[in-house]
């Protein structure tokens, strides 16, 4: 570095102009050397700015899927079992078996409008006898047996059924029932009867 001349010039100032300052070459050279030897001012480096830490973005949290609530299932109503109805005990039909119970009809054939006589013999444990629903009459009692009689009128032509039932003193019917059948015929006309008789003897 060489400086041949240093010249300092002042601009005009309203104040009185100072005297010009001049420096000889040796002095200028010395001044430059002094400047060269002067220590270079230490320039402090700019402080290191630490970069802000990179903030990682929070991971996106997927929302949990909406769980639809299960439909409420109404419990089936409890059906109470129907109470078991115990069948009512059947009433036992009381019957009795008389030691003696027989029936006899006066005839197997009868004209319509006529009657037949029914005779019934029973043991002493029988208190009542009915014939076709009509109570018979106790006629006589022997030792251990009773004879009952009843009359039945033949009202219609055809077969007539006769039924006899026996009962004890408590009204219990005998298990055994007696039945018989009588044939009912129509009445003959008297005139026809006479004519038939005459024809028989060749008198007509």
Residues 4, 25: contact at Cβ < 8 Å?
yes
pLDDT in tens, the chain (204 residues): 444 454 544 455 455 544 444 555 666 667 666 666 655 666 676 777 777 777 777 777 777 878 787 878 788 888 888 888 887 777 666 778 999 999 999 988 999 999 999 999 999 999 999 999 999 999 888 888 999 999 999 999 999 999 999 999 999 999 999 999 999 998 877 777 777 787 877 776
pTM of the model: 0.48
Selection from 147, 146, 158, 199 nearest residue 182 by Cα: 158
Count helices and strands in the chain by DSSP H and E runs: 2, 9
Residue 102: what pLDDT? 95
Residue 31: what pLDDT? 65
Separation between Cα atoms, residue 9 and residue 62, nearest integer Å: 79
Residue 26: what pLDDT? 65
């Amino acid at each position: 570095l060489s400086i041949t001349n240093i010249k300092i010039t002042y601009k005009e100032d309203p104040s009185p102009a100072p005297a010009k300052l001049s420096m000889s070459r040796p002095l200028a050279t010395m001044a430059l050397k002094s400047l060269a030897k002067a220590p270079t001012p230490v320039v402090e480096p700019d402080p290191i700015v630490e970069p802000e830490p990179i903030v990682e973005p929070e991971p996106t949290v997927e929302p949990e899927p909406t769980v639809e609530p299960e439909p409420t299932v109404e419990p089936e109503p409890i059906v109470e079992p129907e109470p078991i109805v115990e069948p009512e005990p059947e009433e036992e039909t009381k019957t009795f078996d008389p030691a003696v119970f027989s029936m006899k009809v006066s005839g197997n054939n009868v004209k319509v409008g006529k009657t037949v006589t029914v005779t019934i013999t029973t043991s002493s444990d029988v208190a009542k006898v009915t014939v076709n629903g009509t109570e018979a009459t106790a006629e006589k009692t022997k030792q251990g047996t009773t004879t009952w009689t009843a009359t039945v009128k033949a009202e219609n032509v055809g077969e007539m059924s006769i039924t006899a039932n026996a009962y004890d003193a408590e009204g219990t019917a005998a298990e055994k029932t007696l039945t018989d059948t009588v044939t009912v015929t129509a009445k003959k006309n008297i005139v026809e009867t006479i004519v038939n008789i005459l024809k028989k003897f060749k008198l007509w």
